[in-house]
């Protein structure tokens, strides 16, 4: 990987020949929330034909900043360089738009978008990879969550607020016994409570979801409520039960 800036010379960084994963097949999972260091690793592995990348195009955050101390004791961080993958792809996505557009771009981008020739690069084996910001996976999997899910989760923050309320309800019903929670279909009741919660927030909110989106949201809500009670490990355990990325990775590893 290397960094380069308008007034900064190119600086190359190389890995050594040591490592615990040299002789095994690698699959790396990324999505639109993967940013910075995770993108650098994924991009390097992809450019060197060392791993298969699965998921959704990553966020696109790859800047180097230097801190400048001011006389009053405060400091300013100035962007001086950008990160590039081994074949020359810039990880940082364009940021000429407003802050809101910059952050929401990851939810509205088209996964079947075309790339101009200037953004196409080749790995050593001749595989075509794409620049333009973020890392585009070898196998793209788009989670069918649509803008309804995006709005309630990221724009309005309703899920976080709801889970704090629902946490109390779950504890009142079963205490803090995760085994009981795991065995019972709590996601149905949680989803029903959430639909009611959203309608109370905005009675005109368009809660249009297809079956796949509804199933995803049910599992996501169950996982979020569980995390508020039992922590991150339980949250991840529930999420992977309905995760297309992991299913595809296991499929490739088993063949």
Beta bridge partners of 28: 53
The tally of domains found in the chain comes to 2
* Per-residue model confidence (pLDDT) at position 249: 96
0.85 exceeded by pTM:
no
CA separation for the pair 165, 182 (Å, rounded): 19
Domain presence at residue 26: yes
Do 12 and 121 lie in one domain? The reply is yes
Q: In the chain, which stretches have pLDDT less than 50?
A: none
8 A C-beta contact, residue 66 and residue 149:
no
Q: Are 214 and 230 in contact (CB under 8 A)?
A: no
The answer on 122 and 7 residing in a single domain is yes
Q: Name 220's Cβ contacts closer than 8 Å, sequence gap at least 6.
A: 159, 239
pLDDT at 183: 86
225 vs 74: CA distance, rounded Å = 40
First to last CA, the chain: 31
Of 142, 160, 181, the domain-final residue:
142
Nearest to 45 by CA among 29, 61, 32, 62: 29
Which pLDDT value is given to residue 18?
83
Task: Specify whether 129 is located in the same domain as 165.
Answer: no
Using left for φ > 0, alpha for ψ between -120 and 50, and beta otherwise, residue 73 falls in left
State the Cα–Cα distance between residues 179 and 97, nearest whole angstrom. Answer: 48
Residue 168 pLDDT: 93
- pLDDT value at position 90? 95
């Amino acid at each position: 990987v290397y960094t380069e800036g308008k007034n900064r010379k190119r600086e190359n960084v190389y890995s050594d020949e040591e490592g615990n994963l040299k002789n095994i097949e690698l699959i790396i999972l990324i999505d639109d929330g993967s940013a910075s260091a995770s993108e650098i690793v994924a991009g390097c592995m992809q450019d060197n034909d060392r791993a298969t990348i699965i998921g959704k195009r990553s966020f696109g955050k790859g800047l180097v900043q230097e801190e400048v101390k001011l006389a009053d004791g405060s400091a300013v961080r100035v962007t001086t360089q950008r990160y590039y993958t081994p074949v020359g792809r810039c990880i940082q996505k364009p940021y000429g738009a407003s802050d809101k557009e910059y952050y929401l771009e990851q939810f509205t981008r088209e996964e079947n978008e075309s790339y101009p020739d200037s953004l196409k690069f080749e790995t050593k084996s001749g595989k075509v990879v794409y620049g333009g910001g973020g890392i585009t996976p070898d196998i793209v999997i788009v989670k069918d969550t649509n803008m309804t899910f995006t709005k309630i989760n990221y724009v309005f923050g309703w899920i976080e607020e709801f889970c704090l309320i629902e946490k109390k309800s779950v504890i009142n019903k079963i205490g803090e016994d995760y085994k009981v929670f795991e065995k019972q279909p709590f996601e149905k009741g949680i989803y029903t409570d959430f639909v009611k919660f959203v309608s109370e927030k905005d009675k005109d909110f368009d809660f249009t979801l297809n079956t796949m989106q509804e199933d995803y949201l049910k599992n996501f809500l169950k996982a979020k409520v569980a995390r508020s009670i039992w922590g991150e490990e339980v949250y991840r355990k529930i999420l992977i039960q309905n995760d297309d990325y992991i299913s595809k990775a296991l499929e490739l590893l088993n063949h």
